[in-house]
């Protein structure tokens, strides 16, 4: 019997976020936001919260005729080093520069999430932070990693769940947050509102 209260609408085309929701038994409808992202803060936490809100509101505006208990989820992830935001690299050269910044030290990954409950109009926004420790990498190792192509569509030029796992020394916080969504926190917010999962 399906005990899930309503439909999840993911305002993102990210296969990693979709997979994280599948991992906990949720099968989202995928409606990527078409809104142009506007960063209005240099603070990483405020940035991801604002970008997630923009995405969720854009998609929620398309779902106002739904009568079920749908919830729209927008999410955005950035990597930050010393407060400097690293987005997705625009070139292999930029990816190498980002990896040079990250190697041999700690950095932070922030994911902002906005959940809009279509029926009630309730909206919540939060951000999670995970500290990631990266091993030292020489130039040859950085070039070999970039040559895999994996860094090119990922904030900070790496995917913790892929080849880059070789260079992860440790993390403090939610691993799934680094992948792209703190899915445990998302589910706890749903359950706090009476959703029965699984």
- Annotated catalytic residues are 76
Identify any residues that bridge with 18 across adjacent strands, giving them in sequence order: none
Q: How many CB atoms lie within 10 A of CB 11?
A: 30
Cα–Cα nearest to 116, from 176, 170, 51, 58: 58
Cα–Cα distances (Å) from 189 to 9, 19, 74, 101, 169, in that order, read 15, 19, 14, 35, 31
**Torsion (CA) 172, 176, 181, 185 in degrees, nearest 10:** -70
How many Cβ atoms are within 10 Å of 153's Cβ, its own excluded?
A: 13
Helix axes 139-147, 92-102, angle to 10 degrees: 130
Tokens 């990816």 map to which residue?
Answer: 95
């Amino acid at each position: 019997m399906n005990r899930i209260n309503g439909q999840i609408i993911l305002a993102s085309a990210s296969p990693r976020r979709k997979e994280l929701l599948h991992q906990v038994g949720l099968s989202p409808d995928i409606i990527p936001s078409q809104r142009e992202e506007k960063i209005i803060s240099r603070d990483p936490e405020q940035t991801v919260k604002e970008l997630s809100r923009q995405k969720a509101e854009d998609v929620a505006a398309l779902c106002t005729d739904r009568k079920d208990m749908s919830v729209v989820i927008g999410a955005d992830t950035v990597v930050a080093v010393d407060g400097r935001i690293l987005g997705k690299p625009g070139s292999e050269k930029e990816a190498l520069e980002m990896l040079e910044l990250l190697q041999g030290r700690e950095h932070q990954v922030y994911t902002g999430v906005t959940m809009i409950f279509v029926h009630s109009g309730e909206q919540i926004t939060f951000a999670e932070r995970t500290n990631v420790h990266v091993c030292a990498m020489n130039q040859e190792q950085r070039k070999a990693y970039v040559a895999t192509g994996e860094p090119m569509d990922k904030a900070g030029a790496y995917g913790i769940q892929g080849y880059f796992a070789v260079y992860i020394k440790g993390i403090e916080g939610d691993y799934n947050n680094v992948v792209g969504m703190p899915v445990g926190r998302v589910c706890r917010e749903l359950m706090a509102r009476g959703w029965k999962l699984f």
